[in-house]
Amino acid sequence: MTEAEALLAQGLADLRTFRAMLEQDRAQVAECEVLHLLQMAGEKLAKAILYALDPDYRRSGPDRRLSHVSLSKLAIALGGRRRVWQALPIDPDKLSGCLRQFHPWYEQIERLHPQVARGGPNVEYPWADTARWMPPCDYDFGLLARLRRGEGRQSLRFLERLAAAVPVLLANEAA
């Protein structure tokens, strides 16, 4: 198993758990816990895609030090890549349009990570909010409701579609 395949397997497992927890009562499962799964799934799936396209991406890719920033790199890395639109399959203009359209959603998901949030609201650790500390479990991120409908839902489906292309990209690389 390659690193890209391992990231894909774990990212898909995280995404399945996210989907299962998405419908749970918020009194039982805090929004931050569900979003944490989504942030981890998104990061792993994006890395699987990026590594499938370029096995050296980890060492040569932009913003290597911000290893939790990968979803927002998809638009740059995938735009104009013939291998990607053939693997999906999708019209190149539609691929570019989807990447631009969903880029803000992917940035929001990345900002859920503490290193990317830079001291602000995140899904893992309490942060100082003016004069008091805020635990993520008590914070209303408001993102889950938006991800359940319209463009938010489409952004998740598109990420799943990109992830489904990873085995094809890896097979084409090996051939």
In this predicted structure, the answer to whether residue 51 has a pLDDT above a threshold of 50 is: yes
Q: Which residues pair with 61 in a beta bridge?
A: none
pLDDT: which is higher, 63 or 42: 42
pLDDT: which is higher, 84 or 61: 84
Provide the 10 A C-beta neighbour count for residue 174: 7
**Which of these ranges, 1-10, 12-21, 23-32, 69-78, has the smallest mean pLDDT?**
69-78
Strands (E) across the chain are located at: 127-129, 132-134
Provide the 10 A C-beta neighbour count for residue 146: 15
**34 vs 43: CA distance, rounded Å:** 15
In this predicted structure, the answer to whether residue 175 has a pLDDT above a threshold of 90 is: no
pLDDT, tens only, 96-131? 899 999 999 999 999 999 999 998 999 999 999 788
Provide mean pLDDT across the span 4-33: 92
**136 vs 146: CA distance, rounded Å:** 18
Q: How far is CA 103 from the centre of its chain?
A: 10
Please enumerate in sequence order all residues whose Cβ is within 8 A of that of 14, keeping only pairs 6 or more positions apart, or say none.
37, 38, 40, 41, 44
In this predicted structure, the answer to whether residue 14 has a pLDDT above a threshold of 90 is: yes
Give the pLDDT band of residue 65 (cuts 50, 70, 90): very low
**129 vs 119: CA distance, rounded Å:** 9
pLDDT, tens only, 145-164? 999 899 999 999 999 888 88
